[in-house]
Amino acid sequence: MTLGLINANPVVHAKKERVARTEDLHGDDAVDPLEIYDFVRDIRDPEHPYSLEQLSVLSEESITVDDKLGRILITFTPTIQHCSMATVIGLCLRVKLKHYFPPHYKVDIKVSPGSHANEESVNKQLNDKERVAAALENPNLRQLVDECLYSNDL
């Protein structure tokens, strides 16, 4: 059991202005990184009452989409190298996209290279279907994830 916060004093960045898109009434709008970013930017950090956007864990550039192949790759950057919350953040991203994105997209979630001490194991854990499912069966973890997704204190 860790005592106290893992990163007690994170750097908080300003929220970016939401851009209203110009509506194109004809033709279809493909899924783009900004749209996904709009979904996930407001997820709360498991430790602090700030959004992932504010803590600069996510940015629009860290998301890539291939609409034709139906693949989404999200790379996030934990605030500190040995952050044990990285897996929780990844789990939150996965749950949110699972709920709010059509199931035919394959979502890959990774920590950005060099940003975490156990980079490989974290990546493996986050993209392992069984382990994700198992993690969500754990009531404590589930509660933590739900709090991050649906919290209103931002």
Residues that bind another protein (CB under 8 A): 21, 23, 25, 28-29, 31, 35, 38-39, 99-104, 150
Q: How far apart are CA 142 and CA 85, in angstroms?
A: 14
Q: How far is the CB of 29 from another protein (least distance, A)?
A: 4
Between 56 and 70, name the residue whose CB sits nearer to another protein: 70
Q: How far apart are CA 47 and CA 38, in angstroms?
A: 21
Q: How far apart are CA 63 and CA 76, in angstroms?
A: 9
Q: How far is the CB of 53 from another protein (least distance, A)?
A: 17
Nearest alpha carbon to residue 77 among 38, 45, 110, 39: 110
Between 34 and 73, name the residue whose CB sits nearer to another protein: 34
Q: How far apart are CA 88 and CA 95, in angstroms?
A: 10
Is residue 111 within 8 Å of residue 86, measured between CB atoms? Answer: yes
Q: How far is the CB of 102 from another protein (least distance, A)?
A: 4
Between 17 and 130, name the residue whose CB sits nearer to another protein: 17
Q: How far is the CB of 71 from another protein (least distance, A)?
A: 15
Between 9 and 22, name the residue whose CB sits nearer to another protein: 22
Between 40 and 55, name the residue whose CB sits nearer to another protein: 40
Tokens 């009434």 -> residue: 25
Q: How far apart are CA 117 and CA 103, in angstroms?
A: 31
Q: How far apart are CA 15 and CA 58, in angstroms?
A: 12
Q: How far is the CB of 137 from another protein (least distance, A)?
A: 17
